[in-house]
Structure 1
Amino acid sequence: MSQRRTEPAAPTRRRGAALESAILDAAWEVLVEQGYHGLTFETVAARAGTSKPVLYRRWPQRDDLLLATLARHWRPLDLPDTGSLRQDALALLRTVNAERARTLILMRIQLADYLRETGTTFNHLRSRVLPVDQPPPFATLVDRAVERGELADVPRSDRVVNLPFDLVRHDMLMRMDGVPDETIVEIVDAVWLPLLGLSQAER
């Protein structure tokens, strides 16, 4: 008795959101491996198993594809809400250190060609990727502390409010690695909270 040979099922044709997700995931892989120089429509289409016209219909320019790729993979972090500004700041910086250090360092390297070609900055690029109406994380933490009465409601510069993230990011890029936990604690306790006007007894 002859046995029937089972034919492999035909691959499911991807459409809509499924296809777009596959393309952006492929673009992210190419960006991580080859940098902006390697992020071409041809390379991404081949990696995603689709055609260049499919990409062009969604993202007419390479810049459009890059921004869409970064927006998909640079999702905003969940903000802690412990009821204490100090604990919120420490928790947020520890999350950034654990979850974003490698990506941040990698992107600064892999996007060097893009930044050089366009004359833009990493901060400007990040502002184009993140939601327009979303305040910086540390601005939200400070606003919550003011609402709780933990901080006085006085004007504060963006430089002071966002200083913890700027300092941690600087140390990451200098070390090309995450930062020690004692550095995070020092930034919050010895630098940021005193600048905000919180004494040690008030923390």
Structure 2
Amino acid sequence: MDLAKTRRRGAELEEALLDSAWTELEQVGFSAFTYDGVASRAGTSKPVLYRRWPAKVDLVLAALTHGGLFARRDLPDTGSLRGDILDVLRRFNAARSGFIAAITVYMADINAETGLSPAQLRDRLLDGRIDTGRQLLERAAARGEIPTRDWSTSVASLPADLVRHDLVMTLAPIPDARIVEIVDELWLPLVMEGR
């Protein structure tokens, strides 16, 4: 067999490495996650991994991103801020509820090992992207639906933060009535204030 023809390179190699890292993370969790385990699954050596991800947390965060947990999803455009945020929160609830217990444990383990806070990890995973809430607020303001303001991060992220909190506290999908309550009774009155 000609090794030059079977050797993976570039994007193909990185895809295989991240697939293996994601599988390792799913099957053994963060605390038992090792470069040896990932290298074995990928059929490669540890130096190949270390060249790309010099620290365990780098490889874990890359695997989480590769697994789609922090992928940017298309923003809905229902024509109203309420419709848009309800759609976003419902999709988030459906997509993340099954993995929320595991990610909570991973975040705690990563913090214990590296000292990185959940907020710092989130910032690394989102890689400087503008948060969804802010995008929805800016779009609603451009439509004239709400006042134009310099929205604070706290206000912009409030609905997602509350849904995330409920998911972590219950370790289960949250009822749709709670999502509607967050939007109609907490967030929309706040952003409509002064209109």
Fold shared by both chains (TM-score > 0.5): yes
What RMSD, in angstroms, separates the aligned Cα atoms of the two structures?
1.9
Q: CA deviation at 1:70?
A: 2.4
Contact 1:32–1:107 (8 Å) recurs in 2: no
Q: Which amino acid aligns with 2:154?
A: R
1:28-67 aligned within 5 A: 28-67=22-61
Deviation beyond 4 Å, 4+ runs, structure 1: none
Q: CA deviation at 1:163?
A: 0.6
Instruction: Indicate yes or no: 2:134 matched with 1:139.
Output: yes
Q: Aligned residue for 1:3?
A: none
| 3-state SS, counterpart of residue 162 of structure 1 | helix
Deviations 1:112-143 (A, max 9, x none): 221112222222101112132x2100000000
Q: Aligned residue for 1:158?
A: 153
Contact 1:139–1:161 (8 Å) recurs in 2: yes
Contact 1:108–1:122 (8 Å) recurs in 2: no
Q: Which residue, out of 141, 166, 185, partners 1:190?
A: 185
Structure 1: state its 5+ residue gaps: 1-10
Q: CA deviation at 1:68?
A: 1.9
Q: CA deviation at 1:33?
A: 2.1
Pick which of 84-93 and 68-77 moved more.
68-77
Counterpart CA distance in 2 for 1:174 and 1:111 is: 15
Contact 1:163–1:192 (8 Å) recurs in 2: yes
Counterpart CA distance in 2 for 1:78 and 1:102 is: 21
* Larger Cα-atom Rg: 1
| 3-state SS, counterpart of residue 102 of structure 1 | coil
Instruction: Indicate yes or no: 2:169 matched with 1:174.
Output: yes
Counterpart CA distance in 1 for 2:56 and 2:147 is: 46
Counterpart CA distance in 2 for 1:153 and 1:104 is: 34
Q: CA deviation at 1:25?
A: 1.2
Q: Which amino acid aligns with 1:69?
A: A
Q: CA deviation at 1:52?
A: 1.3
Counterpart CA distance in 2 for 1:72 and 1:37 is: 19
Q: CA deviation at 1:62?
A: 1.8
Q: Aligned residue for 2:76?
A: 80
Q: CA deviation at 1:198?
A: 6.0
Percent sequence identity over matched residues? 48
Contact 2:98–2:172 (8 Å) recurs in 1: yes
Structure 2: state its 5+ residue gaps: none
Q: Which residue, out of 10, 14, 17, partners 2:8?
A: 14
Pick which of 42-51 and 65-74 moved more.
65-74
| 3-state SS, counterpart of residue 30 of structure 2 | helix
